[in-house]
Amino acid sequence: MTTGGKLGQVDATIVPRFGGAPTFARLPRIDEVEAADVVVVGVPFDSGVSYRPGARFGPSHIRESSRLLRPYNPAQDVQPFALLQVADAGDIAANPFDIAEALMQIEEAAAVHLQAGSRLVVLGGDHTIALPLLRATAEVHGPLAVIHFDAHLDTWDTYFGADYTHGTPFRRAAEEGLLAPDSCMHLGIRGPLYSADDLTEDGDLGFQIAHATEMDSIGVAGMIERMLARVGDRPVYVSVDIDVLDPAFAPGTGTPEAGGFTSRELLAILRALSSTNLVGADIVEVAPAYDHAQITGIAAAHVVYELISSMAIQTQRLKAQEGSA
Ligand SMILES: N=C(N)NCCCC(=O)O
Ligand SMILES: [Zn+2]
Ligand SMILES: [Zn+2]
């Protein structure tokens, strides 16, 4: 169905939602469009996990769980797929037996879309994939203000001597100069740590923390205020580890921690990103083997929907500014 000159979702009044090709939100494949403003791509990779595996099946699960997403988003008053040409580019093949090669494959494949002028929303896969995605995105946009939703810091150094795992992407990114200084923030951090030094070392790497427990005192509004103040007008990369949600809202994940955000709280915070310079995002750690009735898959699909809606609002604002210039 075409709206606003954009090829949108399959029309659910013609092909029922429970049928048809399993692209994200029933959007066109990348080969069906001339060019895409936003590319949704999967990375079925989970060789970097430290506990429960299974996120390799995350991309297909999120796609299957996205079938109910409709054209109009009332929460942001936007038709994202009419404002942006969004397309599903399928999955990046990453070597499950060689993490170093997998990182190269992910970075190279992401670079093709980014250098063609598209923005990426990536369906993981475990959090290891954030590093190659940050490398490719920083190559085009420069040092990034990272907004990282997670129960975990993911700024640890090594596991069993390995530098590249799902617990280390943001330390490696900081070491490689991919992050804008004093512009990065974790939201949702909670649960036991290896040592209090984890927190001091994290601060030294340039991250501010909004702990999950602070939701009770500052609420969604306070979290949004701190997030927007932190990033300013820098290019923003959002990395959502689905385990930022409480296990009640995301049981299908590999390293669950009690006391997380509700899906309503997370979606509300993501909508505020429409006032930032959002240049890329990922949603990681969805492990369907531990999901029930698509609880986690649906939450992840709505995260992607709000991220794309925020990108659409941002585009609308920039076009209005250009029009009035
Ligand atoms: N789920 C992610 N991304 N990281 C979890 C790290 C867990 C640990 O170091 O114990
Ligand atoms: Zn996590
Ligand atoms: Zn993580």
Per-residue pLDDT tens digits for 23-48: 999 999 999 999 999 999 999 999 99
Global pTM reads: 0.98
202 annotated as ligand-binding: no
The reply to whether ligand 1 has any atom less than 6 angstroms from the CB of 167 is yes
Residue 54's identity, in one-letter code, is G
Per-residue pLDDT tens digits for 59-113: 999 999 999 999 999 999 999 999 999 999 999 999 999 999 999 999 999 999 9
Structure tokens, 269: 């915070």
Burial class (CB in 10 A: 0-12, 13-18, 19+), 139: middle
SS (H, E, C) 168-209: CHHHHHHHCCCECCCCEEEEEECCCCCCCHHHHHHHHCCEEE
The reply to whether ligand 1 has any atom less than 6 angstroms from the CB of 56 is no
Determine the atom of ligand 1 nearest the C-alpha atom of 169. 3
**Per-residue pLDDT at 4 exceeds 80:** no
Residue ranges making up the domain that contains 312: 2-323
Q: Stretch 120-130: mean pLDDT, rounded?
A: 99
Determine contact, residues 183/231, Cβ cutoff 8 Å. yes
The reply to whether ligand 1 has any atom less than 6 angstroms from the CB of 8 is no
Q: Which residue has the higher pLDDT, 237 or 321?
A: 237
Per-residue pLDDT tens digits for 162-186: 999 999 999 999 999 999 999 999 9
Q: Distance, CA 296 to ligand 1 centroid (Å)?
A: 18
CATH number, position 155:
3.40.800.10
Q: What is the pLDDT of residue 245?
A: 99
**ipTM of the shown complex:** 0.98
Count Cβ atoms below 10 Å from residue 51 Cβ, excluding itself: 11
The reply to whether ligand 1 has any atom less than 6 angstroms from the CB of 186 is no
Q: Distance, CA 185 to ligand 3 centroid (Å)?
A: 13
d(CA 34, CA 207): 39
Minimum CA distance residue for ligand 1 atom 1? 255
Q: Distance, CA 166 to ligand 3 centroid (Å)?
A: 6
Q: Distance, CA 9 to ligand 3 centroid (Å)?
A: 30
d(CA 223, CA 267): 12
The reply to whether ligand 1 has any atom less than 6 angstroms from the CB of 282 is no
Tally of structural domains, the chain: 1
The reply to whether ligand 1 has any atom less than 6 angstroms from the CB of 58 is no
